[in-house]
Amino acid sequence: MAMQRSEQHKTAALAKTADATRQLRRIETDLETAVARSMYWGATWAEIAEQLGVTPQAAHKRFRRLRYDPTSRKAWHEPPLPM
């Protein structure tokens, strides 16, 4: 009986983990799109950083390669240039 209950708890916890991961990925995509749109429309790193609650340097480091296409409303990461 205890083993069965333990298995049920584990299964429920794993399902919750999978659900939270899906939610986090959607939120991260929404955040990246919002930041890319802000950059596209001329927001400074200081303005973006203020909204994120981080330093401008941290915002730049994380999002500097984001691009945005207003026609498709999609954001993507531009790969770094080869050295």
pLDDT of residue 39: 97
Higher pLDDT, 54 or 80: 54
Place of tokens 């240039």: 81
The predicted-structure confidence for 15-53, as pLDDT tens digits, reads as follows 999 999 999 999 999 999 999 999 999 999 999 999 999
Give the type of residue at 82: P
The H or E element that residue 27 is part of is: helix 2-40
Distance CA 54, CA 44 (A): 13
- How confident is the prediction for the chain on average, in pLDDT? 95
Partnered with residue 68 across adjacent β-strands are 75
39 closest CA partner among 20, 6, 65: 65
